[in-house]
Amino acid sequence: MLRAKSIADIINKELDLKIVFDKRLRERNFGVYQNKHKSNFDHKKFFSDQFYIEFSSVEKNSEMKERLLSFINDIKKEKYKNILVVTHGGIISQAKSIYNKNLEYEQTNNCEIFSMDF
């Protein structure tokens, strides 16, 4: 979450707003692959259901989606006018899937901006 915090700080130099950190927006827990370069494993297999059977310490997409839904539902309750979320690609991909009502995982590019209206 350090990269996301750094980016939020940079953006906030212009906005000067209160920054709220929420653990539900952290990147996926990669278990035994945490802090390892993707060249150390089959990246495509990593996102398949089979991978979770082999490596139970890796957070499942469904688990990441549940914590993101919890965050989104809390935002909806507050009825904010605008909110800026700075987070990692995996969370943004899940948010896109939720918002677009897509059952498939939607890939996200680095530094992507994604807007959601509620």
Rounded to 10 degrees, what is the CA torsion of 49, 51, 53, 54? 170
C-beta atoms surrounding 37 within 10 Å:
7
User: Crossing angle of helices 89-99/61-78, nearest 10°?
Assistant: 70
What is each CA distance from 13 to 7, 52, 82, 87, 115, in whole angstroms? Answer: 10, 40, 18, 17, 21
51: tokens are: 């991978």
Domain range annotation of the chain: 2-28+60-99
pLDDT by residue for the chain (118 residues), tens only, comes to: 678 889 899 999 999 988 999 999 988 888 877 887 777 776 666 666 555 556 667 788 788 889 999 999 999 898 888 888 998 888 888 888 888 887 666 677 777 888 888 7
Instruction: State the pTM of this model.
Output: 0.77
d(CA 61, CA 50): 12
Distance from the Cα of residue 33 to its chain's centroid: 17
